[in-house]
Amino acid sequence: MKYGSLILEKKEYVYLKRILNISGYADDHEVQKSLLKLSDELKTANIVDDQEVPMDVVRFNSIVTVKSDKGWERMLQVVIPQDKDLSLNKVSVLAPMGAALFGYSKEDIVDWEFPGGKQKLKILDVKKEDTLKGLDIVI
C-alpha cells in the first residue's frame, strides 16, 4: 500500500461510517464480508482534511481504472449508494468493488473477496471529479 493505510477525507469518512451502520452490512453474505472488511480497514485509516488527500487516492466520485489478476481491465466511478448506475459504470461504495477500492491509491494492489471469489486488483489510474458533491454532512 503506497501510503501505508487507507486515506480518507474527514467528511467522507463520517459519511461512510454512517452508511455502513445504516446498511446493516447488507443481506447478501458475500456483500456482508466485503463491508465488514472495509469497516475493519477504516479502523486504521488515515483521516485527513480535503486538501491533504493525495490526488491519486480513490474517493467518492473518483474515476478508477483497475486491472484484475483474472485478466480483465475496467474503468468505473465509485459513488455514494443513491448515485449507483451500472449502465454508466457508477459503482456504489457499498458494493464489493466500491468497498475494495475506496481509500486506496494508484499503483496499489488490493486483495479482496468478491462474490465470484478472491481477486487481486491493481489500481492503474485515479481521476478526480467533484469529490464532496452531495455529501452535505454536519460534523
- How is residue 85 written as a grid cell? 448506475
Residue 100 lies in a domain: yes
Residue 117 lies in a domain: yes
Residue 103 lies in a domain: yes
CB proximity list for 87: less than 8 A, separation 6 or greater: none
Residue 83 lies in a domain: yes
Residue 133 lies in a domain: no
Residue 15 lies in a domain: yes
Residue 53, domain CATH: 3.10.50.30
Q: What is the pTM of this model?
A: 0.88
pLDDT by 10s per residue, the chain, length 139? 899 999 999 999 999 999 888 766 556 777 788 888 999 999 999 999 999 999 999 999 999 999 999 999 999 999 999 999 999 999 999 999 999 999 999 999 999 988 888 999 999 999 987 655 555 544 3
Query: What is the count of structural domains for the chain?
Result: 1
pLDDT of residue 4: 93
Residue 134 lies in a domain: no
pLDDT of residue 34: 84
Domain region containing 56: 7-127
CB 75 within 8 A of CB 64: yes
Residue 29 lies in a domain: yes
